[in-house]
Structure 1
Amino acid sequence: MQLDSLMICHLVNELNQQLIGAQIREIHQTDDRMFEIELFRADAKPMHLLLCAYTPTYLCVLSHKRKNTNFIPSQTFCMSMRKHLEGSRIASVTQINMDRIVRIEFNRIEDGSAIVSRYLYCELLPSAPNIILTQDGTILDACIHSRKEDRTVLPQVEYTLPKNSGRMNFMEFSEAELRNVLDYPSTEDDDTAPSILFRLFNGLNRQVVEKICTVANIGYDDLYSTLTGEGKDKLAHALYNVAQEIADTTGLYLYTDASGRVSRSAIPLSDSLPYTHVSVNDWIYQEVSSSGGVIAAAVKNLEKQIHSAWKKELRKERKIREEMNETAKMEEYKLWGNLLSINAWQKVPHEKSITVSNLFVDPPVDITIPLNPELNLSSNSQLYFKKYNKLKKRKEIGAEKIKECQQMQEYLNNLAFFAADVKDRKALDALKEELKAAGIHKQETRRPGHKKNSRNPELATVTVDGFTIYIGRNNVQNEYLTLHKADKQDVWFHAQKIPGSHVVIHRQDAREEIPENVLLHAARLAAKHSQGRDSGKVSVDYTLIKYVKKIPQGPPGLVNYSHQKTLVVTPEP
């Protein structure tokens, strides 16, 4: 779900009808970047304004209270909004420059009966979403703090619009003014008419630009430099008519093609295709609900962080390998150092090279060695020995670093697998804690008195013929189960060479025989909770816990094991 500028234009009109005059009762936080503002208006039922700074971003209003809403302890930005906005009334909802930025104005009577206005900027930009609270043009606080070359988002800093938000709003121009704008754009020789429109104006998408070009009788790939004055007249006229059509249109048009694929548009596109007309606000909430809501949005953001960390480890490994390529000359430097040491008695003033006999091969052959002309042979020999020792150290450290990168990549693959299985708040919080411990997810500011949960992880259990089978559902649970909870005589299972859960059959006594059906059931569970769960067959290794060892200094959940046997099973349905 992505909101374009035209959809936001209609959404703002809907929000103005619903929110103007509404008073802020309470502000809650449903996730790190998701907030719920409870509103009250005398002539309507209580409403709930939902704000999301994850990608995909959204903003919508509910006229009913959501069921099973789990609020999290309030963080800094939520507390700032409570301080500055609770008790305020909404005065206006505005779209900035036809861009994906919505500004909500809040007014509150404060000391001395003065009316103080504050603004909440909801930047619904897929590349950099944010929610920013300002007063008198100064940032009071922001959901996401950032410091970049072109923009700083920090408290007590002047608020500036994101890059590219300065493009023009074509809805504000008359047809004559649009014609004047189209006369003097800065163009390149290969600029097409659509690229010029995208560069000049906010709020356009491909569907709308295709319609403008069709009405103006201009090809989508026609070069702008080939347009005549008449062609520009038609382009300005078509652009103005589309602006009027947008102003006269409400809601969202959902078109269904012959294959059943649904496309959406903020303006009517075709009379030949069946369509459904819905309000933008209702469509957003339906999309959010169908995609999993709060949990799904948070998980998607965490998955992006995991993927970014994985790509970082790949780049790191590639760079180390490139540096390791230089170690190919290591043995050559050692040879040159030895040969120069043997021939150190020779006088070669200011020579850039020397040819000596290589005594380390049979029969000896002549070899030419580059020299530093400012040094004697003994000093040149020491120089090559230093290079040799440096490359030798690099090779040793590089091998260790590559191993660490590969372990981290395996760990991140495991994280990505377990993240895809997160369906509830408890599992989401566990994933966040693991990402914070790994240095991947930024630690949020905790509310005073809110303590980190230090209890042992709760494991999933299954009982088969009197035997208890434990299942780890993430890396932290895997490590706890295998290295702390399980006894040496227990039997450990894991899908072979793919991410998955650790599964353990608990035995009361080392001499207790485990029936074959219990072993197969545990193997099928390990296959079910692995990346191969959609495969027809999965190879599952099993061994005693005493043969499973944690990788030294390795990430959580990564182990080495030996004395294993393998079962090929169908994943448990």
Structure 2
Amino acid sequence: MAFDGITVAAVVQELEHTLVGGRISKIAQPENDELLLTIKGNEGQKRLYISASASLPLIYLTNENKPSPMTAPGFCMLLRKHIGGGRITAVSQPSLERIIHLDIEHLDEMGDLCRKKLIIEIMGKHSNIIFCDLNGRIIDSIKHVSAQMSSVREVLPGRDYFIPDTMSKKNPMTATQEEFISAILAKPMTISKAIYSSMTGISPVIAEEICYLAGVDSSMTAHDLSEDVLTHLYRQFTYYMEDVRQGNFHPTIYYNGNAPKEFSALPVTHFNEYTKKEFFSISEVLYTYYSTRNTLTRIHQKSADLRHVVQTALERNRKKYDLQSKQLKGTEKRDKYKVYGELINTYGYNLEPGSKELTALNYYTNEEITIPLDPTQTPGENAQRYFAKYNKQKRTFEALTELIQETADDIQYLESISNALDIALNEADLAQIKEELMQSGYIRRKHTKKKVKLTSKPMHYISSDGYDMYVGKNNLQNEELTFSFANGNDWWFHAKGAPGSHVIVKSGGDELPDRTFEEAGRLAAYYSKNRGADKVEIDYIQKKHVKKPNGAKPGFVVYYTNYSLVIDSDISNIKNVQD
């Protein structure tokens, strides 16, 4: 999701409410392109994190501090000199640009009241933090941009500050119907692209949402639409912008599994395939979204070796399964050879020496068949040859049937580990999965004196009716939950025919309400390979009926009578307890 003008508008609203009137007590520059301002106001102490990073520009309120370098950079020292102890008087956003102005008043060395502006530009690789006087003259910036670096605008001390208008976009807050329609008609491209390339601060996701709300196919061009449809599209656009104007923000993160897929300051209804979670503030959304994305990215990178081990083993076993299946198919005609041998023994006594075939009545089917013969062998030898073929293929069939089942079990087991890697949330989860792979022989255990302590725990949820629900993150936890933690009358849930977590509901001897069964089923669906499907079939049964076969791999169970339900995998309304 782009850090678009609507997100910036939500940030400005929050900063206006929280920071205006507050005094800047500390100014730090943790990184070359970052500022951390500590502001004391009526609501206590707040920290404003600002990043002008080319790869990840951000601004949000946070409670977290960051270590600063021993010697403060020049830009930080300049800000401390001018606005240290200064009071924030206003927070604003020009048009719907990705720009925030912090108006600050302070006392100079003579004790006179002065006013300055701190301008934060959230513009991808062009992001910057610019410090200006009241007349718009640049005092300094966290990044200097010379004429050699940009022909559009210099950002250097002494230059006048201005917003470069390189795209000639319209202000969506003031655009008239005529301006809106003529702007998108002038763009020979899809409607959604025409909207976000014509209007300031509109991201591709928001452009898609406006088309979706208007019931317009976003892949069409504006010239494909009638005048009435274009008018309807403009009205929907103005309704959406009215929420921005009124500040009716609903900060939300949309999740695809455990991973945050998108975030938005306003509802994005066409994200109906994702699980959504609403937050109190846009700062909370930005912090959660990017910290979770960073964590998941780090965990995914750290799990790369484990994924490689599992994927390699899966590919090997799938190839083995295909080869064994082909070999098994070659034994399908084994019974035919047995019948051939029996018929030769029955009717072969009157065969002429050197006969190449025997035509006889098959008394199993009452049909006449022709049996090929080796003319160099006697009827008895021909019969024995067919019996030998039958016995060989029978032995092959029996051996392959057992081997195929073992290979299928290995594939199922490896897919369950792959699912565990998908839902791993931290390094402790990965350590437990690695331990499982070592126990199963897929990774060679290194003989070291230092023993890795396993601290990963199952996930804990509470149903709407107050019942504790536990979800295993991997096979070792599934095993522990089902056979050590759960009591006989607790309920066990699992996605039918798919790798996934064991879900245990502690019944306490009660008869569970239907709503709790449904919520436990959703957890089982969500933490399985079928996550995201509209309908997932779930098996559930009391734990006392779940058994583990002798010698079975961790997490493998059998049960012979069970209940079933079909449910979606939306767990957004189920309370997650962070133990």
TM-score, normalised via structure 1 length: 0.46
Tell me which structure has the larger Cα radius of gyration: 2
